[in-house]
Amino acid sequence: MTREILNIENLFVEYSNIRGKVKAVRGVNLKLYKGENLALIGESGSGKTTLGTAIIRLLPSSGYIKDGRIVYKGNGNEYDISKFSEKELRQFRWKEIAMVFQSALNSFNPVLKVWDQIYDTARAHGISNRNFVKERAISLLRYVQLDPERVINSYPHELSGGMRQRVLIAMSLLLEPKILILDEPTTALDILTQRNIIELLRTIKADMGLSMIFISHDLSLAAELADRVAVMYAGAIVELGSVEDIFYRPKHPYTLGLIKAVPTVTAGFRELYSIPGSPPDLINLTPGCKFAPRCEYKNSVCEKDEPMLVEVGQDHFVACFRHKEIGNGR
Amino acid sequence: MEDRAIIQLDHVSKSFTVRSGIFGGRKNMQVIGDLSLSIGRGEVLCLVGESGCGKTTTGKLIVGLIKPTSGRILFEGKDIWSMNNEEFKDYRKAVQIIHQDPYSSLNPVHRIYNILSAPLFRHGLVRNRSEAEEKVLDLLDRVDLTPPGDFIYKYPHQLSGGQRQRVAIARSLTLNPKFIVADEAVSMLDVSIRLSIIELLRRLKEEMNVTFLFITHDLAMAKYFGWEGRIAVMYLGRIVEIGPTPRVIENPLHPYTKALLMAIPEADPQVTRNKTPMKLRSLDIPSLLNLPPGCSFNPRCPFWIEGTCDKEVPDMYEPENDHYVSCFLFRGK
Amino acid sequence: MSRVKKILSNYIFLRAVRAILTVFIVATLTFFIIRLMPGNPIEIYIGQLMSQYGMSFQDAKNQAAALFSIDLNAPLSKQYVIYMRNLLRGDFGVSFLSQGTPVALMISAYLPWTIFSVGISILISFTLGITLGMLAAYKRGSIFDHIMSTIAAILSAIPNYLIGILLLIIIGVQLGLIPVSAMRGTVSPGIKPGFTWIFIKDIFSRALLPIMTYVVSTIGGWTLSMKSSTLNTLGEDYVTVAKARGLPESRITFAYVGRNALLPLFTSLTMQMGFLMGGSALIESIFVYKGIGWALGASIAQRDYPVMQAVFLIITIAVIVANFIADLLYSKLDPRIKIGGE
Amino acid sequence: MKSREIVKRIFWEPLVIISRDKAGLIGFIFLLSILLLSFVGPYFVKLDTEVKLDKIYQFPSREHILGTDNQGRDIFSQIVNGGRDVIIVAFLAGLISTLIAVSLGSLSAYAGGFTDTVIMFITEIILTIPQFPLLAVLAAFVRLTNPTMLAFIIGFLGWPALARAIRSQVLSIKERDYIEAARVLDLGRMHIIFSEILPNMLSYIVISLIMAMTGAVYSQVGLIILGLVPFYGHNWGLMIQLAWTRGAIFYKGSIFYILSPIIAIVLFQWSAVTFTRSLEGIFNPRLRAGE
């Protein structure tokens, strides 16, 4: 089961803007295993979305991969995605790795019917048999609990937000990709629709065994769906481990702070507090641990050197000099 | 409770007319339907619902930004839309709002000093610049923007989201309000900052004895902020359940509240994975332009009674003391 | 919604109603301007007849009434009704100068040429402009973009009649490529209209300078608007998603970026039609290209009021009809406005 | 505020911002030069009216930097003296258009309902009528006797597009949360209009004024060229009209005579439009504060 399918090695991504270079992703090492759900958790500006889009090389035009490799292992071969030509990328995207974006509302071309957009996708990958595509599209739409006949002939604006999100998920499965990246897949939706999407994603995982990467600021999505969780702060992964390790045995003060900042409804009360201060400026980064200015555990070392990820338990990594002092669970 | 009430809504409805073109059909969109509510002095009432359910409209009705189509809104027992000028001025000063988006709630062309001093000058609370400066510094200090001297002459765009929201809170405090509507005041902020804003509001409530209407879509935040107060659950313009927070959370009565509580994803893997969501009859939310007859939740409700729920609108029943629900399952209980 | 209501709230229906209403209002305005203005042309004309030809007031009045096809003795309200009825019949009165020629006949001789030259120009300019604009957007920051954007900005700042004069001077006079002083009118004498090569070649060569003027003066605007519209569209999520879906560049460029970037340009297209039809008064006068604009210029210069009034009305109606056509096109391109209802 | 700070805010900061955008800076310099040339220049360069038949169509020389015209008069002196009236009329007309547009546009947005519907309907109608022919027809009826009248006619027809744009601006600003906050704080209607809404529209209004001015130059010079403005003494438009009607443009040697006023007008239009690019920055505190 634990065969890796994606290996991100020492990845650096930057954006250039008028003020300077935004160091959005700084030296990320991350493996994705076959059939697992990995959650990338972080707040705005943590680099999680940049990391996600870098995987399929869809960075905005001001962004670029400065260093590192993104190795995809599929069909018995290894490919470095960061070296792909435009043509290779085109064939690779959606077929091997599909991505569901944050704003399903704007993910569809407003002037084309759903069917045209589905067929466009199939044709781009060499499948031009209309009947075949139609049958597959209908069965997928049915799978995501939509009325296929109605949806397929609709324009995007005729569908509700939840329906569009389901259409996009159905479309992402069209070419049976090995990896599915979902960027904030539930954020804009209301709670009952969120639940429905979560259940759908669970079913997909059970039925199809593909690997999924969830990008979210919302810890609960990770708690719902992830096998492993990577917590990002200021462009780097500060803690990585199984979902139980992260939620019940966090070793990084930031992870601990995040978890303690979110109240629950159905569980009892627990002690909550918020992290003081705000995230650092990614253009003028100070030396040392980027979290140090907001950290109550910091000492003089933290302000000089930046900690690396070290293994603190089985498959549990943390980038903190003082991880031994961070409480053992609640 | 009636005599202690600071704000009361008395059968309030609000509709907007939606037009399409000059000859297009006019449609009545009822956003709030027959809402009655009473908020006691010093209380925290959390108004919870999904986006588009009418909770923001309720907030705007209470602060007098829009007029109800029918019904009355009473401030300290007086109908705000039939007040004389003097009374209305007092009401305006006493009731304030904190908006959701700290990026659009502060005018980008003004410095923080101007934003906070304008109401002070307007209502004669300060007479000159040095008094105003002193008062503004004090306000900034109160919302933990310290040292206040660093912030007073900045423009909004030079502050972070959390800092802006603190300025917005400071502005709502300029006139020593009695009642504050906090409309999704933390939902646009980063997770790690939210709680500190909530704590700030809680502290201000204690220090200044302000009554709060806390509008949110996040039941967990409502529970956290309003544990000692009450929760009102709103669905398609109507309150479906209202009661003391612990009882609504621990013993929800309305099927919609139950569905919400069972559906909310939680930041705890064991808790959230052991939830069994309620099977709804339909995934689609009816449009406000085309509300179903009877109880508006009936097309989705698994406990729906044919011939009753799709015909009549349920009243508010009180199956437990102080815990009201608008559902036929509780008729006569 | 009931069926009748559906039609009533239909986008195209609404646009049609608005177009007709506008024509009606403009016709009414024209009527009252002519009669209520301080320098009332009818009185001036009557005065002229009396002083120049020594006619009696009554005779002069009768002749004026015949020219304007108006019964001057009737009350204003009745005059108005007659005027509108005549308009509906296509009766615009007769010209002052070429006496006896019905204005309607003159208009039918001039209008097609203006529609032809302006129409062709808009087609060329729009197509070229959006192509260049898209190219500039795709190559944003490149030398091509800088040069294109600078030229476009300069061109769109020059009044179109000055471009006309410049073309006349440079191509006609300095370089002597086109015999401008001999090129008057819309068709060379002796050439029979029809679908013959000679005729088509002739009308194009005569319309060449006006068309060039229109194109050069509008292409900059289209390039700049299309560039900014394309840049906006390129930032849309659905374009990113289309790339993520592995769609070929050509498909994204045309069906995803191009078509959506085009939509906001339609408002400018309708404005442009009005502007060019209006500007034709100057351009056609400069090149002595005998279209409706030239007719307007000439009738104003000679104070030929019936012609002036009718030509103005016709130009306005042409613009309204053109706008309506643009609206129809727009509703074909954007599915979101097909249904007027929701 | 100390007077030094006021000087800094009103004069120095805008200059710094203008200098940031290269094209905007060039536009600003050109515009300033044209204004200086047209308003100060006439005090130094007298209009040459003397007919010198021996000096017809001379090419530029030290004596006549732009050459001479069909009657041997100095072209440069005509250019220097020919801008003022054009610019004044354009400015007046632009001002009138902008004033009408701002009042009607904001009234429409602020009042809403029936008022809004009526104002917008009228605006749409006037917008559909091609402006230049209407102007030309009006110019034929109304005896234009002085520049102010011309400016008024142009100004009264030039507002609809602007009014529509201003309306949508006000509508969008009116809905912002800070306006709601100001209402809840009971800051008063005057404060809301002049202190909350207007400052956010200032750049837009000034840009609109400049665009309206360029529009007025278009109409004005067009009317002059068609010979519909009878009263003028001397200006750029008239130079073109004379060159055209007297057939000078068909003569090869007239190139400097005809080109000079054209280039003057084009430069004015272009520099005004380009200058607007910098204006955005002057009124936007985000750019002003130097982030």
- pLDDT, residue A104, reads 67
Q: CB distance B160–A194 less than 8 Å?
A: no
Q: CB distance B175–D185 less than 8 Å?
A: yes
**More confident site: D290 or B203:** B203
pLDDT in tens, C78-99: 888 888 888 888 887 777 777 6
d(CA D131, CA C316): 10
Q: Is ipTM strictly over 0.90?
A: no
Q: CB distance B23–C341 less than 8 Å?
A: no
Mean pLDDT of C200-226: 90
pLDDT band at C338 (very low <50, low <70, confident <90, very high): low
Q: CB distance D185–B158 less than 8 Å?
A: no
Asked if B137 and B152 count as a contact pair (C-beta separation under 8 A), the reply is: yes
- pLDDT, residue C99, reads 67
Mean pLDDT of A82-88: 91
Checking if the pLDDT of A320 tops 90, the result is yes
Mean pLDDT of A10-32: 92
- Which of helix, strand or coil describes residue B232? strand
d(CA A324, CA A322): 5
Touching chains, C (3+ CB pairs < 8 A): A, B, D
Q: CB distance C247–A120 less than 8 Å?
A: yes
Q: CB distance D200–B107 less than 8 Å?
A: yes
For the record, the structure tokens of A89 come out as: 């990328």
Question: Nearest Cα to B190, choosing from A270, A277, A294, A330?
Answer: A277
Checking if the pLDDT of C10 tops 80, the result is no
* Lookup result for tokens 């908020």: B39
Q: Is the peptide bond before A293 cis (omega within 30 degrees of 0)?
A: no
Instruction: Please give the mean pLDDT across all residues of chain A.
Output: 90
Query: Which residues does chain D have within 8 Å of residue C41's beta carbon, measured at their own beta carbons?
Result: 141
Q: B195 and chain A: CB distance < 8 Å anywhere?
A: yes
* Percent of chain C residues past pLDDT 70, beyond the cut: 89
Q: CB distance D136–C274 less than 8 Å?
A: no
**More confident site: D230 or A71:** A71
- The sign one gets for the Cα dihedral B78, B82, B84, B90 is positive
Q: A187 and chain C: CB distance < 8 Å anywhere?
A: no
Checking if the pLDDT of B25 tops 60, the result is no
Q: CB distance B23–C17 less than 8 Å?
A: yes
Query: Which residues does chain D have within 8 Å of residue B89's beta carbon, measured at their own beta carbons?
Result: 186
For the record, the structure tokens of C98 come out as: 């070429």
d(CA D3, CA D12): 13
Asked if D211 and C127 count as a contact pair (C-beta separation under 8 A), the reply is: no
Which domains are assigned to chain B?
A: 5-109+155-330 (3.40.50.300)
Q: C271 and chain B: CB distance < 8 Å anywhere?
A: no
Q: Which residue of D has its CA nearest to B183?
A: D177
* Residue C197: partners with Cβ closer than 8 Å, 6 or more residues away: none
Measured in residues, chain A has a length of: 330
Checking if the pLDDT of C9 tops 70, the result is no
Question: Nearest Cα to A241, choosing from A188, A313, A182?
Answer: A313
The least confident of C5-19, C200-214, C226-240, D201-215 is C5-19
Query: Which residues does chain D have within 8 Å of residue C146's beta carbon, measured at their own beta carbons?
Result: none
Size of interface A-C (CB pairs under 8 A): 76
Q: Which residue of A has its CA nearest to C263?
A: A111
Q: CB distance B155–D182 less than 8 Å?
A: no
Q: C123 and chain D: CB distance < 8 Å anywhere?
A: no
Q: C169 and chain B: CB distance < 8 Å anywhere?
A: no
Q: CB distance C335–A110 less than 8 Å?
A: yes
Q: Which residue of B has its CA nearest to D290?
A: B158
CA distance C151 to chain B (A): 35
- pLDDT, residue C72, reads 64
Q: How many CB atoms lie within 10 A of CB D184?
A: 24
CB-nearest to B23 from C1, C14, C342 is C14
Q: CB distance D133–C159 less than 8 Å?
A: no
Query: Which residues does chain C have within 8 Å of residue D269's beta carbon, measured at their own beta carbons?
Result: 157-159
CB-nearest to D181 from B108, B123, B171 is B171
Query: Which residues does chain A have within 8 Å of residue B273's beta carbon, measured at their own beta carbons?
Result: 223-224
Q: How many CB atoms lie within 10 A of CB A218?
A: 20
Checking if the pLDDT of A279 tops 50, the result is yes
Q: C342 and chain B: CB distance < 8 Å anywhere?
A: yes
- pLDDT, residue B72, reads 94
- C-alpha D44 chain-centroid distance: 25
- pLDDT, residue D289, reads 47
Q: CB distance D184–B63 less than 8 Å?
A: yes
Q: CB distance D265–C159 less than 8 Å?
A: yes
CA distance C239 to chain A (A): 8
pLDDT band at A330 (very low <50, low <70, confident <90, very high): very low
Which domains are assigned to chain D?
A: 3-45+66-287 (1.10.3720.10)
Query: Which residues does chain D have within 8 Å of residue C312's beta carbon, measured at their own beta carbons?
Result: 133-134, 137
Could you write out the DSSP letters of every residue in A27-59?
A: EEEEEEETT-EEEEE--TTSSHHHHHHHHTT--
Q: C141 and chain A: CB distance < 8 Å anywhere?
A: no
Checking if the pLDDT of C13 tops 50, the result is yes
Q: CB distance A111–C260 less than 8 Å?
A: yes
- pLDDT, residue B26, reads 66
pLDDT in tens, C103-145: 888 888 899 999 999 999 999 999 999 999 999 999 988 999 9
Mean pLDDT of A300-320: 92
Query: Which residues does chain A have within 8 Å of residue C336's beta carbon, measured at their own beta carbons?
Result: 110-111, 155, 157
Q: B22 and chain C: CB distance < 8 Å anywhere?
A: yes
* Lookup result for tokens 């999704």: B184
The least confident of A268-272, C140-144, C310-314 is A268-272
Q: Which residue of B has its CA nearest to A199?
A: B277
The least confident of A144-148, B174-178, C170-174, D271-275 is C170-174
Which portions of chain D are predicted below pLDDT 50? Answer: 1, 289-291
Q: CB distance A124–C245 less than 8 Å?
A: yes
Query: Which residues does chain D have within 8 Å of residue C18's beta carbon, measured at their own beta carbons?
Result: 124
Q: D10 and chain B: CB distance < 8 Å anywhere?
A: no
Asked if C94 and C102 count as a contact pair (C-beta separation under 8 A), the reply is: yes
* Percent of chain A residues past pLDDT 70, beyond the cut: 98
Mean pLDDT of A70-99: 91
The least confident of A165-169, B165-169, C58-62, D233-237 is C58-62
Q: CB distance D249–C173 less than 8 Å?
A: yes
Q: CB distance D191–B106 less than 8 Å?
A: no
pLDDT in tens, B68-102: 999 999 999 999 999 999 999 999 999 999 999 98
Q: C179 and chain D: CB distance < 8 Å anywhere?
A: no
The least confident of B326-330, C153-157, C192-196, D80-84 is C192-196
pLDDT in tens, D210-222: 989 999 999 999 9
- Which of helix, strand or coil describes residue C204? helix
Rounded alpha-carbon distances, angstroms, from residue D193 to D112, D183, D207: 15, 11, 19
- Phi, then psi, of C32 in degrees rounded to 5: -75, -35
Question: What residues are paired with C97 via a beta bridge?
Answer: none
Q: Which residue of D has its CA nearest to C146?
A: D23
Instruction: Please give the mean pLDDT across all residues of chain C.
Output: 83
Checking if the pLDDT of C323 tops 70, the result is yes
For the record, the structure tokens of C47 come out as: 């005065």
pLDDT band at C254 (very low <50, low <70, confident <90, very high): very high
pLDDT band at C39 (very low <50, low <70, confident <90, very high): low
CA distance D183 to chain B (A): 8
Q: CB distance A93–C243 less than 8 Å?
A: yes
Asked if A37 and A227 count as a contact pair (C-beta separation under 8 A), the reply is: yes
d(CA C279, CA C218): 12
- pLDDT, residue C16, reads 85
- pLDDT, residue C144, reads 92
- Largest Cα span, chain A: 67
In our burial notation (b when 16+ CB lie closer than 10 A, e otherwise), range B180-207 reads: bbbbbbbebbbbbbbbbbbbbbeebbee
d(CA C41, CA C26): 18
The DSSP secondary-structure symbol of D195 reads I
Checking if the pLDDT of A327 tops 50, the result is yes
Checking if the pLDDT of A328 tops 60, the result is no
